[in-house]
Structure 1
Amino acid sequence: MDLGNQIEKSVAAAEPSLGPPPAKQTCSSSVWKHFAVSAADKTKVICNVCKSQISRGRDIKHLSTSAMHNHMHLKHPLLVLSANPPTSTNPPTSTNSSSQPCSAKPSTSTKASSQPCSAPASQFQSPILAAFNAKQAYPPNHPTAKQITNTVGEMICLDLMPYSVVENKGFRKLLNVVAPRYQLPSRWHFSRTVIPQLYQDAKTKVKEALSKIEGKFVHCTSDIWTSKFSTNAYLSLTGHWIECKQSPQGIDEHKRVTALLKMEVLSEDHTAANILHHLQAVVKQWQDDVGAKFSVEYFVTDNATNMVKAMADGNYVHIRCMAHTLHLVVTAALKECRGVTNVILIARKITGFVHRSNKAVNKLHKIQEELGLPKNTLVHDVSTRWNSSFHMLQQLLEQRRPLTTMSAEMDLGGVMSHHQWELVQAIVKILQPFEEATRTVCEDVASLSSVIPCVQALKTALTNLKVDADVQALPEKLKMVTTLQSQLAQRFQAVFDDSSGHYFKATLLDPRFKSLPMSLLSTSEFDRLKADVAAEVDAELQADDVSGVPEAASSSSVEIETSGQKSLFWGAMYNLAKPKAKSASSGAMTSRKIVESYLAEDSTESLTSDPAVTFWSKMMQPQPALAHVAMKYLTCPPTSVSSERIFSTAGDIVSPHRSRLLPLHAEELVFTKYNMEKFN
């Protein structure tokens, strides 16, 4: 029976043709508007919709409406759902137990009269109706359906899944088990509606964070990457700043924020003019969207000529990526040492052979098991990352015994002599400080203040290695250390000769290393450095109209971690961070006195902490002007790694099995994934 006939007959049900229920009924169930008592048999009723005869029981004194409810739920569910909730469940019989008015006190002598006259609608849902509703599909606008669809979209972004995953049989089968009432939309719905909405949500979160900038400055990193699976080149831009927001208790809380501002296709030639045009357009768009005119203080990029010229033409303060510079230092030293180069070539042959041969891998694991060693595989290096060569040699050294055993049974593509194994051990020992320094400056909490301390720590470590007896025993070792020293001094000389003093200012304003500039600069240069910082503090005081600057906060004593003393690099870093003796200061708290007071405090931070948040956030109340200046320098990253890491994600998306993915969709997926992880 179609819906139109059901509705028509439900209207006719208001005037039953077979006679009304007994006259003494004053409070009855609403189901009676669909039934009439049979004139031939009082224990039976006739359905007004389908004219079916339904039994109410055998005993005229104990009749029930259960069969009538079940009939309506099973045969006419639409009428049940559209009907008003019933006011009573009392059967329409002429017995005394059911003839009491609704306002009368219910009798306890019968089961029927003990039920209330007004029961909740859920009480009338039979198991049949519940089973019927449980199999009905969610409409598209149902809250549960919208939540599942949104979660599937987040899964596609976070796990970098292709849109076609929603068409896979296994995935559909899984959803059919966990959410049988959910109807999975098509891939087009996700690519054109769901993911773009998630992209807009992520963009909104970035806007909210940009609107809460502490100090109104942003530092940017940028890089260019070309996919080997397509002809498209991509330009990335990330932003770094300190966000200030109030806690529920009304206290200002500061945290470091890193966000992807844009990843877009660079279709033109990679000239400095084209790069600068794209970067400036992205910055202006965000400034317009946020409505607050924040400024870009520093731009961090690699040492590519077009990037360097673009920064100069845009009048940006350009910071050269320290990780990239360290890569140039190490690779140049490795190339100058022929013995080291030969060892690395043999290591590549061995790791390459083991990677290509399942038989070799199984043999290696079997020998590792016999020797009680963990079943580790070998690491193959990448030409663009020097530390991958370090990890390759380090892993080979750990697997020396299994590899020596294997080389006696099969050809590994190369064999190392005892002398070469000693050289591998020396290379790992010499490059260990550079690997630790690279990891340090690539951390999310690293800032511009890490550059000078890391360079000085590397110089100290190399000096100690040069006088080491093991290094002096082999000419290749000594030559490698000497070459690293000269390359380090040559490539980082610009940091120490920087006339603007950005690196020294950042180091001075880092409470962990604030005494280091005093030991590296002459007295006149150090006084000029303090005067420059004081001038920036004075500009902040005038801009914010700060009056009555309070006395400096009492010194805090945070213990410096000493676990790093086990290595040459961290031992040198610990010595650089040792607090120096206090100097007395008195008088009015001018900008110069504020700087002197900060330098005199015996307050230290952990080497692994983020002083922009742990130290200067607390100083925002007593010394807001100095804190703002410090945060400007300490929120600038020393590397462009944040932009380079984005292309690792892009490489997973722009791959052969997703070659038909449009560049616009690739940009949306990368932007959404990066910022979703950062802000969630």
Structure 2
Amino acid sequence: MVEQQKAVHGISLTLVAPVSKLVPNKQEWDTISQLVDILKPFKHATDTLSDSKALLSQAVPMVLRLRRHIERLGAGRTLDSLAGPLTPPAQEVVRRLSFAVRKRLEPLLSSKVHMLAALCDPRLKYNVCPKDFTVWKAQLVNLVREVFAARVAETGTAAPLPEMPVTPSTSASGETESPGEPVGVCRRDTDLQQRPGNVFFAETVAILPCSEESSLLASAQKVDSAECSVNRYFEEPPEIISCDPLAYWASRKHMWPDLSHVARQFLSCPPTSVQSERVFSLAGDVVTPHRSLLDPQTVEKLVFLKANLPVLNFPDLDFDTDDSSTPEQPSQSGSSS
């Protein structure tokens, strides 16, 4: 509606007086435009976290981004896209959004699951919690120790931790890239136009504080294999935005088996229930009024295939139902002649 403001205004000039009153006036247009700019980051965050490939680790940066957005508006600083100060209705929306962010979103910043998932994301690491990094890192080390103890109890032996080679980054396409920045420098993806779905997340990561991990890691001392693997992981610089975190940990499961196990546990969890709801809604495409007598097990298998075949890059099955696919029948006139 805001994009068509000039067109709506032009049409209103041709309307009769009673009808033209239904068209927003200048103050109402200003309020609508401001509400669009205020709510736009929330829409982008919702779309990003509702993506089928979204990870739990993306929730924390989104919360930090939205909190920063609301704090700027609450402090009286207008957005660059706003021509003037906020109107009273827009100020009320900002007040309610600020309350909702504090009540619903900020608790995620103290959630163990969300914070450890963010730490295990090689694109984020310590940048999501520079102040409380040592606290969350200690919890991550404890989880790695538990996995290590369980593995030793099961196998009876503890494989030595291999030396860390210079490892290239793993992109979303599975290709590797040579590390080009020194340790402690946050690497950013400069070619974001090739991945438009990651633009908002990339912008969110770009505003996170870049911290020197050398000042965050503990001083050199005798540590066990769990803490050693965690330290080695954080010694590597954050990966670029196009890095696939799951592919990253799959490529390092032999180097850091216990840490990789913990990281994949956190990163394999989706941030929202949207994808699960989409899977449930697929049953409506399978069970129709013309196909209502299917066995429940058959419905389950069909839904499973419909949801997972695209993920496995399975080729589309070509069911040709056109009349042209049927063999031509011999002409009756030719046979009679």
Q: Distance in 1 between matches of 2:303 and 2:98?
A: 40
Q: Partners of 1:426 and 1:577 in 2: how far apart?
A: 28
Give runs of aligned pairs for residues 203-282 of structure 1, distance below 5 A. Answer: none
1:273 aligns with: none
Contact 1:507 1:517 survives alignment (8 Å): yes
Instruction: Tell me by how many angstroms 1:414 deviates.
Output: 4.1
Matched with 1:21 is none
Measure, in 1, the Cα distance between the counterparts of 2:233 and 2:143: 15
Q: Provide the rounded CA distance (Å) in 2 between the counterparts of 1:654 and 1:422.
A: 47
**Match for residue 238 of structure 2 among 604, 618, 627:** 604
Task: Give the structure 2 partner of residue 530 of structure 1.
Answer: 137
| Superimposed CA distance per residue, residues 69-124 of structure 1 (whole angstroms, 9 cap, x where no aligned partner) | xxxxxxxxxxxxxxxxxxxxxxxxxxxxxxxxxxxxxxxxxxxxxxxxxxxxxxxx
Alignment of 1:621-632 (within 5 A): 621-632=254-265
SS in structure 2 at match of 1:519: coil
Tell me, what secondary structure is at the counterpart of 1:435? Answer: helix
The structure-2 alpha-carbon separation of the partners of 1:412 and 1:638, relative to structure 1 and needing over 3 Å to count, comes to: farther
The one-letter code sitting in structure 2 at the alignment partner of 1:549 is L
Q: CA deviation at 1:668?
A: 5.1
SS in 1 for 2:252: helix
1:476 and 2:81 correspond: no
Of 445, 453, 456, the match for 2:53? 445
Query: Are the structure 2 counterparts of residues 594 and 668 from structure 1 closer, same or farther at C-alpha, using a change threshold of 3 Å?
Result: closer
Name the structure 1 match of 2:188.
560
Match of 2:118 among 499, 507, 524: 507
Distance 1:405 1:547 in 2: 75
Tell me if the contact between 2:45 and 2:62 (Cα under 8 Å) persists in the aligned partners. yes
Is this contact kept in 1: 2:213–2:234, CA < 8 A?
no
CA distance in 1, matches of 2:51, 2:220: 36
8 Å CA contact 1:505–1:533 kept in 2: the answer is yes
Which residue matches 1:639? 272
Change (3 A) 1:575 1:637: same
Higher relative contact order (CA 8 A, sep 6+): 2
Q: How far apart in 2 are the matches of 1:623 and 1:404? A: 63
Deviation for aligned residue 1:672: 3.3
The alpha carbon displacement at 1:670 in A equals: 3.1
Structure 1 residues 530 and 503, CA gap change in structure 2 (3 angstroms): same
Distance 1:577 1:652, change over 3 A: farther
CA distance, structure 1, for counterparts of residue 211 and residue 135 of structure 2:
22
The CA distance in 2 between the partners of 1:660 and 1:591, in whole Å, is 54
Q: Distance in 2 between matches of 1:581 and 1:668?
A: 48
Aligned residues, how many? 273
Match of 1:548 in 2: 160
- Identity across the alignment (%): 28
Q: 2: distance between equivalents of 1:426 and 1:569?
A: 23
Alpha carbons of structure 1 residues 552 and 445: separation in structure 2 relative to 1, 3 Å? farther
What TM-score do the two structures reach when normalised by structure 2? 0.69
Select which of 8, 12, 30 maps to 1:403.
8
Q: Which residue of 2 aligns with 1:276?
A: none
Alignment of 1:174-573 (within 5 A): 396-409=1-14, 414-466=22-74, 467-468=77-78, 470=82, 472-498=85-111, 501-516=112-127, 518-521=129-132, 526-542=133-149, 543=151, 545-554=157-166, 556=168, 557=179, 559-561=187-189, 563=192, 571-573=203-205
Root mean square deviation of aligned Cα: 3.2
Choose which of 232, 246, 252 in structure 2 pairs with 1:619. 252
Deviation string, structure 1 residues 546-596 (Cα, Å, up to 9, x no partner)? 3221223436537422559xx997544312273534256465652122212
Question: What residue is the counterpart of 1:308 in the other structure?
Answer: none
Check whether the contact 1:549–1:589 (CA below 8 A) recurs between aligned residues. no
Q: Kindly indicate whether the alpha-carbon contact (under 8 Å) linking 2:55 and 2:268 is maintained by their aligned counterparts in 1.
A: yes
CA distance in 2, matches of 1:477, 1:661: 49
Q: Which runs of 5+ in 2 are unaligned?
A: 169-178, 181-186, 194-198, 315-337
Q: Flag the 1:552–1:645 CA change in 2: closer, same or farther, 3 A.
A: same
CA contact (8 A) 1:446 1:610 kept: no
Shift of 1:496: 3.3
Counterpart of 1:502, as a letter, is V
Q: Deviations over 1:388-443 (max 9, x none)?
A: xxxxxxxx122223333344456699422222222221111111111111122122
> How far apart, in 1, do the equivalents of 2:93 and 2:73 lie?
11
User: Does structure 1 retain, via aligned residues, the 8 Å contact 2:127–2:211?
Assistant: no
Match among 642, 645, 662 for residue 293 of structure 2: 662
Q: Alignment partner for residue 676 of structure 1, among 299, 309, 333?
A: 309
Alignment check: 8 A CA contact 1:552 1:597 kept: yes
- Superposed CA offset, 1:496-529 (max 9, x none): 344xx111211111122211354353xxxx4443
Partner SS state of residue 485, structure 1: helix
Q: Displacement of 1:644 after TM fit?
A: 1.4
Per-residue CA deviations over 1:305-345 (Å, capped at 9, x if unaligned) read: xxxxxxxxxxxxxxxxxxxxxxxxxxxxxxxxxxxxxxxxx
Whether the 8 Å CA contact 2:13–2:20 is kept in 1: the answer is no
SS at match of 1:678: coil
Displacement of 1:626 in angstroms is: 1.1
CA contact (8 A) 2:148 2:258 kept: yes
Q: 1:531 to 1:428 in 2, by over 3 A?
A: same
Distance, in Å, in 2 between the alignment partners of 1:570 and 1:459 is: 17
| SS class of match (1:446) | coil
Looking at structure 1, the residues matched to 10 and 166 of structure 2 have their Cα atoms a distance apart, in angstroms, of 63
Q: Choose 1 or 2 for highest CA Rg.
A: 1
Query: 1:36-90 deviations in whole A, cap 9, x for unaligned?
Result: xxxxxxxxxxxxxxxxxxxxxxxxxxxxxxxxxxxxxxxxxxxxxxxxxxxxxxx
Gap change, CA 1:527 and 1:573, over 3 Å in 2: closer
Q: Is the contact between residue 202 and residue 241 of structure 2 (CA under 8 Å) also seen in structure 1?
A: no
Residue identity matched to 2:164: A
- CA-CA distance at 1:616 after TM superposition: 1.4
**Structure 2 CA distance for partners of 1:670 and 1:405, relative to 1, 3 Å:** farther
2: CA distance, partners of 1:546 / 1:599: 23
| 1:488 Cα offset (Å) | 0.7
Contact 1:512 1:605 (8 Å CA) reproduced: yes
Q: For each residue in 1:646-669, what CA deviation from the matched residue of structure 2 results, as whole angstroms up to 9, or x when unmatched?
A: 3443444556xx366236465554
Preserved contact between residue 447 and residue 638 of structure 1 (Cα < 8 Å):
yes
1:593 aligns with 2:228: yes
